[in-house]
Amino acid sequence: MDKNQATGLMLISALLLAYLFFFKPKAEEQAKQAEKPAAAAAAKPAAAPAPLDSAATVRLLGAFAAAGQGQEQSVELRNSKVSVALSTRGGRPQVVLLEGEKTFTGQPLYLLDKQSADIDVQVPTSEGRRVKLSSLYFRPSAVTPVTENGKKGQRVQLTAELAPGQQIQQTYTLFDDSYQLGYNLKFQNLSGLVTAEPLTYTWLDHVRQTEQSAKQNRNHSTINYYLAEDDLGSIAEASEKPEEQTAPGAVKWIGHKHDFFTAGLIADKPFPSGKFNTNVKEGDSTYLKTMQSTLQIPAADVQSDAGAGFQYYFGPNSFRVLKDVAPHFERNVYLGWGVFRYVNRFLVIPVFTFLEQYISSYGLIIVLLVVFLKTLLWPLVYKSYLSQAKMRVLKPEIDEIKEKYGDDQMKVQQETMKLYQSTGSSPLAGCLPMLATLPILFALFQFFPNAIELRGESFLWAKDLSTYDAPIILPFTLPFLGNHISLFTVMMTISTLLMTWQSNQMNPAAMQGPMKMYSYLMPLIFFFVLNDFPAGLTWYYFVSNVVTFAQQAITRNFVDEKKLHAQLQANKEKNKDKKPAGFQARLAEAMKAAQERETEGRKGGAQANKK
């Protein structure tokens, strides 16, 4: 190879590397490729199992062999909200399309499809076999209209005939404008063919990416289940390790939560037991997470005249919708734990719902939500600002104490405490009101990433407030940041830095030395943390900072620091002979005891040096 050939090869290699680096497919294009199997699932039938001859069917299914051969068909129930395709092989839901919903790439949203989900029931027989309903073929009836309790809908029955008078019946009912699919499983005259052992219901669910952020989509997908003892069980959402849980008691319902959508099953009578597991396979770009639920169905229920009754739910993870599905089914919407959940449920959601009735722009709804909450908390903000003003006007006296007692820090603290006690002020008084606002701050940190109302809603440059805004796409990936920059997060960070600077200017004694540097460092850390978070959340924080600026400007007009200083001096004169009480007394005693120990330690050291 001569010099010219070598140079040409190097140039070609450099151009190839540059192309791969700067023109590689964007995350959105990759997601479209990953979604093609899901979009085609409804149109492309699953590979049919190899047909069995009569002898093989009898060996496999025994007394159930009569239903072991047939042709798979699809029966559809559809309303304005959901379309469910039932397979005659197994008589089970196979494809679920949510009408009017799209993936973030604009494709139809399939909550289940033939490749991603598998629902089955295993029946223990008196011959010692465990026959799966997916091994049987069911004959569908015509889809007929039905009216129950004033509700209109459609119903279809799928029947597997084992012998004259011996049947397995599966009945599905879909009412108009409903996300719920009624399901009844009934064994007719099969007491001699099946045992008294419970049937085993299994639901295997491979979660596909439907949202822009694969990480958020994965971390928000999990299995929730509710116990008959009124207690919620759940597998950790963000876990990427195999997780398994066994329900400690009977189970009322399960929910396979797919970020903003849930596929669930509610039993008329609780399942006696349940086992649940999730798993994430590294490098699997087709499925974000695999979830499986295994439940027991009492044999007596399916052999009763009424059969075993259930309700499937295939729909949005909306608090308002889920609370009417089943008791506590709204717990599939994660609103935080403890007090944060109550703040979201009884404060944030009612206000948000009220504003939705009159305003169509969710960006503006967030602005009004900020204004409402800030107005509600204004008394606490005022009290905090008043405390900070007291610290400012007392700063010259505190500086005099420091200058007078020099390096005797204990004496400085004692005299400073006396000053606070006599003037009726405290540095903690400015912190405690602000701590009271934290439950709302943390509650909203959980509300926005789980609010389906924001899904697909655009505002300014953000195409979808339920995920990060990405007006700036980088041709490379940065550690902790990814390949995009959220402009709302940038605005939030800048406004937080300005607030920090203003606070430090107004209270120069509050933040000194390393703490002052850390106060500026934290907003920068949050920039990296929140860059992947929903635009609705970072927009809220930015607007909250702007409103806080306005609040502080207005509050300053109500606080006359000269009058405040005169009042503190009057308090000081009034309380000069008053002894500390309560917490201040205990604090003074503790400081006095510490000073005595320090004095004794110095004396002991001096005596040792003399010896």
Confidence of residue 34 (pLDDT cuts 50, 70, 90): very low
Angstrom distance (rounded) from CA 261 to CA 221: 9
Angstrom distance (rounded) from CA 11 to CA 17: 10
Rounded to 5°, the CA angle 383-387-389 comes to 115
State which of 189-198, 521-530, 589-598 shows the largest mean pLDDT: 189-198
Angstrom distance (rounded) from CA 541 to CA 547: 10
Angstrom distance (rounded) from CA 318 to CA 327: 15
Q: Determine contact, residues 311/180, Cβ cutoff 8 Å.
A: yes
pLDDT digits (tens, 9 = 90+) for 550-608: 888 887 777 767 777 777 777 776 766 666 555 555 655 665 666 666 666 655 655 55
Which two structure tokens, joined as six digits, stand for 67?
A: 């239903």
Of 315, 289, 321, 316, which is closest to residue 222 (Cα–Cα)? 289
pLDDT digits (tens, 9 = 90+) for 120-136: 999 999 988 899 999 99
The pLDDT, as a whole number, for residue 17 is: 40
Identify which has the larger pLDDT, 522 or 94.
Answer: 94
Q: For the chain, which domains are there?
A: 73-333 (2.70.98.90), 346-461+535-573 (no CATH)
Residue 174 has, within 13 A of its CA and on its CB side, a CA count of: 21
State which of 42-51, 424-433, 477-486 shows the largest mean pLDDT: 477-486
The mean per-residue pLDDT over the stretch 215-225 comes to: 92
In sequence order, the 6+-apart residues with CB closer than 8 A to the CB of 221 are 207, 237, 257, 258, 259, 278, 288, 289, 291
Count of H-run helices and E-run strands, the chain: 18, 22
The pLDDT, as a whole number, for residue 512 is: 56
The pLDDT, as a whole number, for residue 304 is: 94
Q: Determine contact, residues 264/216, Cβ cutoff 8 Å.
A: no
What radius of gyration, in Å, describes the C-alpha atoms of the chain?
33
